[in-house]
Amino acid sequence: MFCDLPAKALQTFEAIKYASAYPKGAVLFVEGQPPRGVFVLCQGSAKLSIRVTDGTTQIVKLSEPGEVLGLSATVSGKPYGLTAETMEPCQVNFIKRADFLRLLREFPLACFKIVEKLNEKYNAAWQVVRSLGLSHSAEEKLAKLLVEWGSKNNEWGKEDPRIRLTVTHEEIAQMIGSSRETVTRAFADLRKRQIALVKGATLVIRNKAALKQMAST
């Protein structure tokens, strides 16, 4: 997001960032915590989650390199609405809230990019709500998730799309609002019906049409 800013803005960004390496399972910030600043994910991946009313955890997004975490809270000054936790060793740039807001005030293009990013996050959040709210079963929600992953990684055009699984059955359950046991049974059913099967850390989709039909029922 910051790569094509003017040279002076990039110099300012470099001067105010704090580069750090985090191990797997490190918590960057916690839901409800006052905003300290933004975290730019340079390498690795992180999961963003919320606590729901029954005390369980709902994963709402898997973040990839290039994403800015804690953006909405840092701009608004309201507490972080999510918890961010690394899923593997990560390289992260942290910018303090005061420095980040000063960057936006001094460079209008940076401010415009933030507005664009916040709009993207808003639309993405509605897609998550829509997907979970309109799906009638855990199997349908899982199928939607797998189709989304396959399309996102440009695998869908291949004969047998392959999806690298970086999450556990428990984490997938937290993404679709289900239980680990239900997710395990759903994967077993996909294998039995020869729609998809897991090989090591890779999911191979054998029947794209059937999976898409499951996702749209």
> Domain range holding 151?
135-215
CA 166 to chain centre: 12
pLDDT digits (tens, 9 = 90+) for 65-86: 988 999 889 989 999 999 999 9
Q: Is the pLDDT of residue 31 over 60?
A: yes
- Whether 71 and 145 map to the same domain: the answer is no
Q: Are residues 52 and 112 in the same domain?
A: yes
Looking at the fold, whether 126 and 208 belong to one and the same domain comes out as: no
Residues 105 and 123 in one domain: yes
Residue 124 pLDDT greater than 70, yes or no: no
CA–CA gap between residue 161 and residue 21 (Å, rounded): 32
One domain for residues 96 and 164: no
State the pLDDT at residue 201. 84
Give the position of tokens 């507005």. 115
Structure confidence at residue 141 (pLDDT): 86
Instruction: Identify whether 1 is part of a domain.
Output: no
CA distance 170 to 124: 23
Q: Is residue 188 part of a domain?
A: yes
- The chain-wide mean pLDDT, for the chain, equals 85
The pTM of the full predicted model, rounded to 2 decimals, is: 0.74
Q: How many domains does the chain have?
A: 2
